[in-house]
Structures are given as C-alpha cells and as structure tokens.
Amino acid sequence: MNATPRSMEETKLQINGTVHIPVMLHETVDAIAAKAGDAVIDGTFGAGGHSALILERVGATGKLLAIDWNEHAVRGCAERYAEDRRVTCAVGNFAEMADIARLSLFPKANGVILDLGISSDELNHSGRGFTFQEDEPLLMTYSDNQESIADILKEVSEDDLAAIIKTYGEERYAARIARAIKQKMPVETTKQLADIITDAVPNQGRKYRIHPATRTFMALRIYANKELENVEQAINALPQVVAPGGHVAIISFHSLEDRIVKHRFREMAKEGRLTILTKKPLLPSDEEIKINPRARSAKLRICIVT
C-alpha cells in the first residue's frame, strides 16, 4: 500500500545549509494528525526534518520534545531552536522517552514519531564507523558511553559472532565471515573490517546488488546499540507517554524492526491499549523512491493510543 504521492520539492528541507530529504515526511506528520496547540514527541530528531514540519502544524501554542541519541544531532537542535520556547531538545534513546518526558516536564503527547532509520548525516559525517565507505574508527555506536564494535569483536566468541551476524543481518555467510574476523584480530577500523568481510564472501556472493559487507555492518550496529530491544521498549511505553486518542507513527527500514512493530501493535491492540490504523504498512511513493533511494525499504505503521 503506497502512500499518496506528493511533490518531492515539498519534502526537501534546508538543514544547516544542505538539502535534507526526510523519508515519508508528509505522510508521517499527517499520520499523527498534529494540529495547533498539540504536544508532540519526535523520538528520533536526526537532521530535524520531521520536527520542522511538526512545528508548522502545532503553531505558536504547541510543544515539541525532540530526542536523539546522537549528541551532535541534539546540539544542532538546540542551536536551531535556541529562541523557540516551544522546543525541548534532549539527548537520549527513544526507549527512554517516558523518563525523558517526565524529567522535561513535558505533558502527555498528542503524537509521537519514531523514524528508526539511521540518518544520512550519521552514516556519512559522524566519524563513528557506521559506513564502510570511509575509513573510520570502528565504534558504530551513537554514544561514547556504549561499548565499541572494536571492543565487542575482541571479546565475543566466534560462534556468538556468527549468531549475531546471522540473526541481525540475515547473512547467509555468517559463519565464514565470523571465522575470518576472529582470525584477523584485532580489527580497529571500518576499512579493515570491510576488507575482511569482502575476502570471506565467496565470489558468487559478490554478485548481489549490495556490498558484501552491508549485512554484517548492519548486524553489528543493531547488536551494539540494542536497536531491536529499544524499539520494543519504546512501544511498551506508549501508554505512559501518549494521551488517550494520541497518534503514533513509526517508520522502520529493516524487516526485524518492522516485525517487532507489527507484532507489538497487534498484541497491545488485543489488550485494548491501542487501535491499529494500518492493517498493512504505508510505503513510500514511486516518486519518492526515485528521488531518495534510501526510502525504498521504509514502512510506516500507525496506531492510536486508547
């Protein structure tokens, strides 16, 4: 089920002097039905694209709580909205939004948006090793308080590493890749890791449309940041965070994330804690995918907290 197409020119925002294209921007903000005076939580601020449109919708009397795990993103939020009393910027994971909202004296929200994709800025400019396109230290975490991938690789057994790559990356050559990584320890940079993975994958595996290291990098990032656990924790907390009748919109990009959203929505709907508005997820339009290819795997699910 594709979302209603809109002109992509409407979705391009000038963020810190560069063009940023938020995924399914209008569809997501429309989904939470934000209106003048509403209190809204953007649990994944990133480059701030969704937040900018939310602020247009909630008007002069609305409120926005912008949360991001990445301190750089939150500094950008604080600088951009330094004179805007409607906006509270907070460092933290969206799984902790109930505590963050309470400590920020933020009222129960009328809407919540979670964009579970890693932002292009984090991929390309963080210096934290999220991408094998650059040779960077092998951190792959959003915060300095987390254990880096370089350290995890030193500690984890070969069998456990293979399980991580298989479970979170759905990588068919997980065992072969894990063996190669452990044989080449220590691995300290993204280039080292990508080269090891590429050499470990059989020739036929290199015919895939994605880089041989893509699934392994994704698996290690998900594991290090406990991304799946955080999604489930955030959904469980929705009744504490959202006022009755408030809308929640979650964009996922990975099948494991989308599965968690779908199943938790269904379970909580059976418990009478929310109402599902999307029997099948909304998908980006063909026009959006053409302009912004990273949107191609996006799935938007919407519910109302009861």
| Amino acid letter, 169 | G
**Residue 167's closest CA among 153, 155, 180, 178?**
178
Beta strands 18-20 and 13-15: pairing type? antiparallel
Which token pair is 226?
């406990």
pTM: 0.87
Q: Report the interhelical angle of 227-236 vs 255-270 (nearest 10°).
A: 20
- What is the structure's pLDDT at 15? 42
**Residue 59's closest CA among 37, 78, 26?**
37
C-alpha pair distances (Å), 190 with each of 57, 133, 149, 233, 300? 41, 8, 10, 30, 31
Residues whose CB is less than 8 angstroms from the CB of residue 14 and which lie 6 or more positions away in sequence, other chains included: 20
| Amino acid letter, 242 | V
Structure confidence by residue, pLDDT tens digits, 185-243? 999 999 999 999 999 998 755 566 788 999 999 999 999 999 999 999 999 999 999 99
Residue with tokens 């339009």: 285
pLDDT band at residue 124 under the 50/70/90 scheme: low
Structure confidence by residue, pLDDT tens digits, 160-175? 999 999 999 999 999 9
Sign of the Cα pseudo-torsion (54, 56, 61, 67, in order): positive
Spatial separation of the C-alpha atoms in residues 177 and 181, rounded to whole Å: 6
Beta strands 39-42 and 87-91: pairing type? unpaired
- What is the structure's pLDDT at 127? 82
Query: Is 117 strand, coil or helix?
Result: coil
**Residue 6's closest CA among 20, 29, 25?**
25
pLDDT band at residue 139 under the 50/70/90 scheme: very high
Residue 157 has pLDDT above 80, yes or no: yes
Residue 120 has pLDDT above 90, yes or no: no
Sign of the Cα pseudo-torsion (150, 151, 155, 160, in order): negative
What's the DSSP call for residue 277?
S
Structural domains in the chain, CATH included, are 8-121+227-305 (3.40.50.150), 147-224 (1.10.150.170)
Residue 285 has pLDDT above 80, yes or no: yes
Give kind and range of the element (H or E) at residue 222: helix 214-224
Minimum mean pLDDT range among 22-31, 92-101, 134-143, 269-278: 134-143
Structure confidence by residue, pLDDT tens digits, 4-52? 444 444 445 444 444 557 899 999 999 999 999 999 999 999 889 999 9
What's the DSSP call for residue 144?
T
Q: What percentage of residues in the chain have a pLDDT greater than 90?
A: 78
Which token pair is 49?
């694209």
The mean per-residue pLDDT over the stretch 271-277 comes to 97
Give kind and range of the element (H or E) at residue 299: strand 299-305
C-alpha pair distances (Å), 196 with each of 133, 180, 267? 14, 7, 41
What's the DSSP call for residue 55?
H
Spatial separation of the C-alpha atoms in residues 142 and 67, rounded to whole Å: 13
- What is the structure's pLDDT at 204? 59
Residues whose CB is less than 8 angstroms from the CB of residue 15 and which lie 6 or more positions away in sequence, other chains included: 47, 48, 49
